Amino acid sequence: MYPDCYYSKEHEWIQVKDDTATVGITHYAQEQLGDIVFVELPEVGREFQAGESLGTIESVKAVSDIYAPLSGTVAEVNTELEDKSELINEDPHGEGWIVKMSLSSKGELEEMMDKDQYQQFLSEEAE
């Protein structure tokens, strides 16, 4: 269910290629939110520190922040989500990606979990 990516405790996933990280929310997060009806995306070129709110996701249940799992600059946003926010529910680890960021420091990846650690984290949270 979970691809080989990095994961945060706030339930974001990160896939890194060169110095660019693609960021989205995990299957678990979208499942907890329920049907997603709106996504507030950040502006391209905006800089974020790890842990800062990138934007919000609104579902039928709640409004939740999307946190920057790493420090960097927004290089691209998934504009398809503006009209089809349900892509996050349908394919959270693929077509439902949220932003692509140019990383400030790859060293921050050391703080992230791999897929096995993330699944262990989920099972511990469920207890």
Task: Give domain limits for the chain.
Answer: 6-126
Nearest Cα residue to 58 out of 41, 43, 80: 41
Chunked mean pLDDT (size 10), the chain, 127 residues: 91 93 96 96 97 95 94 97 96 97 92 96 89
- Cα gap 83→101, rounded to integer Å: 22
pLDDT of residue 80: 97
Cα–Cα distance list, 89 to 25, 36, 49 (Å): 10, 7, 26
pLDDT of residue 51: 94
pLDDT of residue 77: 98
Class of the domain covering 6-126: mainly beta
Share in percent of the chain as helix, strand, coil (round to 5): 25, 35, 40
Name the residue type at position 23.
V
pLDDT of residue 19: 86
pLDDT of residue 106: 85
Pair 78, 98: CB distance under 8 Å = yes
pLDDT of residue 17: 92
pLDDT of residue 2: 85
pLDDT of residue 32: 94
Name the residue type at position 50.
A
pTM, 2 dp: 0.93
pLDDT of residue 35: 96
pLDDT of residue 16: 94
DSSP state letter for 43: P
